[in-house]
Amino acid sequence: MLRVLSFERFERYFREAPGGELAVDYGAGDRPYEGMVRAKYRRYLAADHVSTYRNFSEARTPDIVLNGGGLPLADASVDCITLTEVLQYLYEPTSVLLELKRVLKPGGCLLGTVPFAIQHHDEPHDYHRYTYYSLRRMFVDAGFQIQNLDYVGDMVAVWTTLGVQILELMPKGLDKARLKPVGAALRKLFRLPLFAYYYASKAGLDPAKIKYFRRYPLGFSFYCISSDTVSEKK
């Protein structure tokens, strides 16, 4: 659920962002957005830590291997940086955001997503869960103007996701018992509430419109601009 909703929001931001010469995919992993980014920017650079990309057996070596958070790029040389599902892995996110601000051109964009309601993952490098207010302050303090900072999902989506994860323990047990067809059928049945939530929200029945339900989101999506050009326009 989180991945689908986050990707849809990210894709919308990406369509709105201006094109340009160079885009950097910071924390690229197995490069799921490379094709989309290359269609809009003439050059694409994947940046990631050694410990991350080695987890992807079919992934190519990053164009930039990160040692710490620094980028070996000139000041104001990048048009767009994507930062999808990465902030939770940055032990010192403020220093990384300042570095991203340094390499972005005036008016360059920072697009990404970050989870909130999610289990521990990719241990031992899973460090943070951010609130709306911590993200807003971090971006502004680093010198970005926030175009969009949106909640992804809500309390209903969180509890639906958790319920499905608990129910799916049964199909996993059936798989181990060599009853995979039965497990597969149950898995499809148990996931029906996820589809119901998704299509209901698309039809306008979105609990996130109510502040109470936004208190426990699946995550956040963001579209920020390096603020130098914005200040000049005012």
Phi-psi region of 85 (alpha: psi -120 to 50; beta: other; left: phi over 0): left
- pLDDT tens per residue across span 172-185: 898 888 889 999 99
Q: How many CA atoms lie within 13 A of 89 on its CB side?
A: 20
Supply the pLDDT for residue 208.
85
When pLDDT is cut at 50, 70 and 90, the band that residue 75 belongs to is very high
User: Using CA atoms, how far apart are residues 193 and 215, in angstroms rounded to an integer?
Assistant: 21
Per-position DSSP letters for 62-108, written without gaps between them: PSEEESTT-----TT-EEEEEEES-GGG-SSHHHHHHHHHHHEEEEE
Supply the pLDDT for residue 78.
98
When pLDDT is cut at 50, 70 and 90, the band that residue 206 belongs to is confident
Fold of 2-152+219-228: Rossmann fold (3.40.50)
pLDDT exceeds 80 at position 219? yes
pLDDT exceeds 80 at position 214? yes
When pLDDT is cut at 50, 70 and 90, the band that residue 53 belongs to is low
Which pair of tokens denotes residue 116? 């909130």
Percent of the chain beyond pLDDT 90? Answer: 67
Going from N- to C-terminal start, the domains of the chain cover 2-152+219-228, 156-202
Task: Please tell me the pTM assigned to this model.
Answer: 0.88
Judge whether 226 and 106 are in contact, CB under 8 Å. yes
Q: Between 208 and 20, whose confidence is greater? A: 20
Q: Which helix (H) or strand (E) holds 112?
A: strand 104-115
Supply the pLDDT for residue 56.
54
Which pair of tokens denotes residue 183? 């497990």
**Of 77, 138, 146, whose CA–CA distance to 111 is shortest?**
146
- The pLDDT of 72-98, averaged and rounded, is 95
pLDDT exceeds 70 at position 52? no
